[in-house]
Each structure stands twice: as structure tokens, then as C-alpha cells.
A and B are shown apart, each in its own frame.
Chain A
């Protein structure tokens, strides 16, 4: 006999209470499993939404810093870079955005966030694209209509979620520093040399802005919520099972056992037995009334038998 058949034998092979307990346990366990699987999908979707929202916000904040530098800071600082003096990177939007992101990282709450502007041919080799970033840039270059890429990135420190946007040379003013060394300010050449960060062309995609946000903590929170929900559901379902069992015992099983005991007694001395349950208006009352009628019939039959014996004697 298979284990399932052994657990669920033909009806009537076990006490009703046991049959009910096994059936309820099976139904509730299955319900919990299905619910946890569905909730896992729902919570996972919500977690990814949250990560995407955080990444989008972070990216927009950095773009705002770039825009501010480009519009407000660069016009003031860039002229200072024309001579052979010290190059002031504060004029460069990329520098300001990455510096602000660096300051943000000083706050332990944002330590796992990062913002990077990686280019195939950057002025500052700190911004040189690695193989992963190069792949992203190449994809943007192959498909200029592509505005955004996102996904998970495995790093030696764990998996992070990234969102990337292309860096396009959209203004002629960018080419002052990035077309030829002859056009670039002397201070820039003295700071970074004359061989990297040149040869850019108008409307060319030269790099990518990448934000990474931690997903481990969000998914861990999701898993914690899922486990807590599953535990609560199990407790609730277990409570429902116990209460159902108690109610069933109180409403059906106990009266049935009582009626059964009285019926057995009535089969010997019918006159002494009283089926009080017949007053009930439910199925138990119906059963008690049937037994009461049977008891009375039995009593009459026994009386008739006794009378016949008396006449014969």
C-alpha cells in the first residue's frame, strides 16, 4: 500500500476525528506551500521594484549634480584652467558627480551604493572602463536607440544591481578638452598627459554612467518577510485546525458517542434510557429522535413478547 493510501485509507477505516485531522492538515499544508510560493514571487517582484526605484533615484540625483556643474560651476572655473597653472577638476561635471557620490559613500548607510562614469578612452585613467563596463558601452554604441541597461552584476564582493546610461558627446564644448591635445588647456595636459581622453567626436557614445545599488539587503529583507508570513500563516492555520477539531468534537462527535452509548443501553433495558438530544433541531436531534422511536418500538415489542409469554403460561 502506498504511503498516501496508508495516510488516506478508505473512508471509515479510522475514527472520524483522525480522518478530519489528517485531511485538514493536508489541505492547510498545501495551502501554505502554494501561498508561500505565490508570496515569494510577489515579494521578489516588489523587491526588484524597490531596487530599481533606488537606482533610478540615485542616477537622477547624480545627473542633477552634473547639470549643476555644467551650467553653474564650469563657466566660472573653466577659464582658470586655460593657463599652465594647476588644473581644477571642479569644472568637469564627471568629477563633481563622482566626488558627490564619494561623499555620499562616507555615510555608512550608503556605503554599498556607487556611481561611476566609465569611458573607453578617459582623460583620468581612474575612469577607464573594465571588461564589464566595456561590454555595456559597446552595446550602447551598437544600438544608439538604447537608453538604459540594467541587471545584476557579480563582483568579488557579491552581487549588485546596476543601471547604466550612455554618455554621449552632445556639446561642442566637450571637444575643447577631448578632441586634440592642441585644443586642450595646458593645465589639463600637465595633469593627465596628452595621450588619453582625446579623439572624441560629436554625438559619439564614449562611455557610460553606472549606478550600482545593493540588492543583498533588500532580498534579505524580502526573505525575512516571507519567512515571517509563512510562520504566521502556519500558526493561524494550526489554530484554525485545532479550533475546527474542537468544534467538531463538541457539535458532532461527543453527541454521537453519547447517542451510541444510550442506544447500546436501550438494546438491553429500553425503559431506562432517555435520548435528550431529540430536542435538538439539527441532524443530531434527528438521529436521537430516530433512536427514540426505535427504543419505543423495541419497548413495545418486548412488552408484547412478555404479554404473550404470560398468556401462554
Chain B
């Protein structure tokens, strides 16, 4: 009966010359919207469950469904390595990315474009942290030591530390999902040096910064795949901008703010250079070696 009433309403609307609705769906090539959710910050979460609370996740999925008019497949990911693989294979149509993956996404042969800024401005810089008692004072002292990193895909926890350690050989490389876990590993003498984010207080005495990279870590971004960029995506973004309060606060979605690509320019070159190296396997020895791009100004930083 409802169907007949709907049909009747539709006929009446058509007969009265009603204009068709202008709602256009914004879907990926598979007819659905595959959304990657890594968040705006690197190495701050220990588990995928921490990316978003259940309720926030459902609310975000609903908002994205309504805005895109597509079936949404939301994939919260805690490992930058997993996210990197998704971006590389074009497995996401839209992604909320931290800085390192933002730079990586831009390197995918124009596969992704940035449409909104994520996160809040801070003083994040990539550092190398050691135990003061070990007597390690310069990068050269790290030869033959054990290195702790965040997984591949992190700017402050992987790309920049490796770039700054170019030429050194480590007896072992260990990975952890968060800076907090890396600090525990350093404290428990499981590693000798770890990657660290300068904006996070290391909270324990006896640690010291061996090296700080000069680059300020830029903000994360909301990235769209090329097919979506080529489609009319403005109504979708408009919906997100208008419903910014429905988005999880932890994302730091900046309504109407376009990312600043120039802030990423040099870091993109570093990411591209490091990506071209043969990279370390967990639990194995590794020599940081590979070609450095000519466009990179050079290493910077203290000590």
C-alpha cells in the first residue's frame, strides 16, 4: 500500500512539474565509499579501539553516508604501515590521515588530493631519544645500537628518524605502535635509541634528546582519491563543514580550511627518498642506506 501511495505521490510530483532532487552521490569506483581513518596524530594510540569510541564511529559513518549518499565502509586503522598499504593499493576513496601518510598519499602519482586540514597546530618535531646513562652523545655513537621506530608510514616516527640516521648500521630494529610503547622499550633496555615526538613530554628522568630534526611536523589532512576529486565533491565537503560538530573532536577537522601543501613540500621529498630505500625488517640488523633526493635541502637539527 505504501508503495502505491509513493507511486501516486511521485506521479503527482511529476505531473506538477516538480524539479528533480539535486542530491548527487559521491562514491568510489565500486559504488561505495571506502574510508580510511587513521586520525590526525602519529604514535599517540596503542590500539585501534583508541582511534574512535564506538559511538563516535557509528556517528561518523552515518554522517559520511548521508553526505556521500553511498554505502560507507569505515576502516579505523592504528598501524601507519597498514594505512600506507591501503593508500598504495588505492584501497581508500577518502582518508583522514596524519602528516606522514598525508605526504605519502601525495606521492602516489597524483592518486590523492588534500581537501581539508586535520589536527591542531603544535610544536611537533621528530627527535631521537636515548637513555642519559648510556653515554650516547652524537648520532655517530649509535653505530651498532638497537633502534626503536614507529611502523613505516609515520613521519616523526619512521621517515625523519631514518633520514637523519643515514649511513649508520644498527644491530636490530624494533617496532611499536606508539611512542609510549617505544619509551617503555627504551626504559626496559630492549632498544638503545627511539624515535620520539618533541611535542610529547617524555615524562621520565634519565632520558635525553640526542637529535632533533629541524622540520616542524605539519598537520594531517582529509584526502580524497582522484575519481572523487574529479567528481563534484563540493556538496559532500559542504555537508561535513556544516556538521563539523558531528565529527569526532579528536580528528580536529578544520571546517572550510584547505591544507597548506607548501608545508609538506620538503617532507614529501624526504618521504619519497626514504620510500626508495631498502627498509628495515623488525628484529633484524639494518644499515640505513639509500639515495637522497637532490631537492632536499639537507639534514637539519641540533646535535
Contacts and interface: CB of A to CB of B under 8 A. Distances in A.
A126 B76 contact: yes
Given A85-B282, A130-B58, A156 B74 contact: no
Find the residue from B3, B7, B45, B48 having the highest chain A CB count within 10 A: B48
Secondary structure class of chain B's binding surface, majority of residues: mixed
Interface size class of A (residues with CB under 8 A): 20 to 34
Interface string B74-85: 111111011001
A105 B73 CA distance: 12
Interface stretch (B62-70, B117-125, B236-244): B62-70
B276 interface: no
Contact of A111 (B7, B31, B46): B31
Nearest to B150: A190
B282 A195 contact: no
B175 A196 contact: no
Interface stretch (B49-57, B107-115, B222-230): B49-57
Contacts of B78: 192-193
Given A85-B282, A108-B31, A196-B49, A191 B79 contact: yes
Contact of B48 (A108, A157, A186, A192): A192
Interface in A129-169: 130-131, 155-157
Interface string A99-124: 00010011010011010000000001
A125 B57 contact: yes
B234 interface: no
B66 A191 contact: no
A84 interface: yes
Interface residues of B, number: 42
A225 to B, nearest CB: 13
A130 B76 CA distance: 14
A219 B3 CA distance: 9
B203 interface: no
Contacts of A156: 62, 65-66, 69
Given A106-B30, A219-B3, A86 B75 contact: no
A128 interface: yes
A126 B65 CA distance: 15
A223 interface: yes
Contact of A84 (B45, B79, B283): B283
Contact of B75 (A83, A112, A124, A196): A124
B231 to A, nearest CB: 16
Interface string A65-106: 000000000000000000111110000000000000010011
Contacts of A192: 47-48, 78-79, 82
A223 B1 CA distance: 11
A102 B30 CA distance: 8
B281 interface: yes
16 contacts: A84-B281, A105-B31, A111-B32, A125-B57, A125-B77, A128-B54, A156-B69, A157-B65, A189-B177, A190-B151, A192-B47, A193-B78, A194-B46, A195-B46, A195-B48, A219-B3
Interface of B: 3, 7, 29-32, 45-52, 54, 57-58, 61-62, 65-66, 69-71, 73-79, 81-82, 85, 151, 174-177, 281-283
